[in-house]
Chain A
Amino acid sequence: DIQLTQSPSVLSASVGDRVTITCRASQGIGSYLAWYQQKPGKAPKLLIYVASTLQSGVPSRFSGSGSGTEFTLTISSLQPEDFATYYCQHLNNYPPSFGQGTKLEIK
């Protein structure tokens, strides 16, 4: 099974900051990586798929990059509504596992 490791696990930042979250896969997954945002008590929301394609309706301050085993999610200028937990997920094969999550906190 493919393991996904996100770093950092917790990220403290301020409104307006540029932040980057990394997701590393234990083996190559091509570009079959998605990023989700989850707020407390809510379902996850798709942000990015196939590593770099922005889901419809997601603000352009979110971007994704990478291929193979290393991927990043970048938020160019944090907004108050962006403080949440972020998960990466691979969809290369089964099981389509998730990273452990990165909690983005207000500094």
Chain B
Amino acid sequence: QVQLVESGGDVVQPGRSLRLSCEASGFIFSFYSIHWVRQAPGKGLEWVAVFWSDGTTKYYADSVKGRFTISRDNSKNTLYLEMNSLRAEDTAMYFCARENSVAGARAFDYWGQGTLVTVSS
């Protein structure tokens, strides 16, 4: 069955760095675009970044552009999010999600359980 498992969340001080991982199983990882979505405590969902299945195309939300870097290792079925210059407003649960684009459908059909990042001094 399709599974996405995030890890790497922690409590970090403002200005520090953190790397999140999203390990996938149950599907051909390289065939899918994978996204990061975050949710601050008690707030709504915010899209963060995507790495397309073409192996090169990436997009970022304006709120993280220049600070966060998304990457993927298809040999390890893993997506990463390198987060630098962390701010208090980056505190959130971070989810990875698979985009299903088969036959014109576009949606995030599978999500991980999330990993919590807390930025605090």
User: What is the interface of chain A, defined by CB distance below 8 A to chain B?
Assistant: 32, 34, 36, 38, 42-46, 49-50, 53, 55, 87, 89, 91, 94-101
Contact = CB atoms under 8 A, between A and B. Distances in A.
Contacts of B59: 94-95
Contact of B45 (A44, A45, A91): A44
Interface of B: 35, 37, 44-47, 50, 59, 61-62, 95, 97, 99-100, 104-109, 111-114
B44 A49 contact: no
Interface of B is mostly: strand
Contact of A98 (B44, B100, B109, B112): B44
A97 B50 CA distance: 12
Nearest to A50: B105
Contacts of A32: 106
B42 to A, nearest CB: 10
